[in-house]
A = this chain, B = another copy of it.
Amino acid sequence: MKRDQRIVQSERAIIEAGISTFVSNPSAGMSDIALASGVGRTTLYRHYDSREALIRGIALHCFDEIDQVLRPLYDKTGRELIEATFRLLIPIADRYRFLNGLWQEAGDNALVAQKLSEWNRDTLWLMDNAKATNEIDADIPSVWLSNFFDMILYTSWSLLESEELNQEDAIHLAIRSFFKGCGK
Q: Write the residues of chain A forming the contact surface with B, with a CB cutoff of 8 angstroms.
A: 24-27, 79, 104, 134-137, 140-141, 143-145, 147-148, 151-152, 154-155, 158-159, 164-165, 169, 173, 176-184
* Interface secondary structure of A, over-half rule: helix
The answer to whether A143 and B155 touch (CB under 8 A), given A25-B104, A182-B178, A183-B136, is no
- Give chain B residues whose Cβ lies under 8 Å from the Cβ of A164: 141, 143
A173 contact from B79, B144, B176, B183, Cβ within 8 A: B144
Query: How far, in angstroms, from A140 to B155 measured CA to CA in the complex?
Result: 14
Q: How far is the CB of A46 from chain B (nearest CB, A)?
A: 26
- Give chain B residues whose Cβ lies under 8 Å from the Cβ of A173: 140-141, 144
Whether the pair A155, B165 counts as a contact (CB closer than 8 A) is no
Whether the pair A148, B177 counts as a contact (CB closer than 8 A) is yes
Please state the number of chain copies in the assembly: 2
- Give chain B residues whose Cβ lies under 8 Å from the Cβ of A135: 183-184
- Give chain B residues whose Cβ lies under 8 Å from the Cβ of A145: 182
Whether the pair B169, A141 counts as a contact (CB closer than 8 A) is yes
A143 contact from B141, B152, B165, Cβ within 8 A: B165
Q: How far is the CB of A141 from chain B (nearest CB, A)?
A: 7
Q: How far is the CB of A159 from chain B (nearest CB, A)?
A: 6
- Give chain B residues whose Cβ lies under 8 Å from the Cβ of A147: 155, 158-159
A141 contact from B25, B26, B140, B165, Cβ within 8 A: B165
- Give chain B residues whose Cβ lies under 8 Å from the Cβ of A136: 182-184
A155 contact from B104, B151, B178, B182, Cβ within 8 A: B151
Q: How far is the CB of A32 from chain B (nearest CB, A)?
A: 13
